[in-house]
Amino acid sequence: MNYDEFNTEYTKVLDKIQRGECSASALAAHVVRLRKATEGVGTPAERTQISNDLDALGQMLDLSRRSNTEDVWTITSDALRRATSGEGTTAERIARVEESIAEITSVAERNPIEREALLQSTSTLKTLLASLKTSLTVEQPV
């Protein structure tokens, strides 16, 4: 499996989550399957992104196993999907990541029991944001 194939499969999993068609056990199976299929794939940057994406799915799985008053699973998966989309310019991608971090942070503030886990799920997005900002700096030297 190459990075593009992984990204397609990852997006399919996020779609299933959003539609409510992915149970916790199915998500766990997807994470294991994708981790095995992507061992040693691509460049170091691609491997880092794959690892971050799969870590985010794992965090969502942890969230789903806890009870909560709002559907943090769907909200988080939707925010992650938007943030990790490769579409658009680097500046547009940065804006989407920042919006997603803000959205997840807002959900965390409304869900004190889930707060820590939700804020941990933003760590993947913060890593992506830093990478995109570095790449933007390289694209547009000062």
Q: Convert the pLDDT of each residue in 4-59 to its tens digit.
A: 999 899 999 988 887 878 777 788 889 899 999 998 888 898 989 898 899 888 88
Specify the pLDDT at position 139. Answer: 65
What's the domain range around 83?
A: 3-139
Alpha helices in 19-114 (DSSP H): 24-37, 44-64, 72-84, 90-110
In the structure encoding, which two tokens stand for residue 74, read together? 């769907």
* Side chain identity at residue 25, one-letter code: S
Cβ pair 74, 118 in contact under 8 A: no
Instruction: Kindly give the interhelix angle for 24-37 and 44-64, rounded to the nearest 10 degrees.
Output: 170
Distance CA 1, CA 34 (A): 9
pTM over 0.95: no
Specify the pLDDT at position 66. Answer: 62
Chain centre to alpha carbon of residue 90: 17
Q: How many domains does the chain have?
A: 1
In the structure encoding, which two tokens stand for residue 21, read together? 């068609």
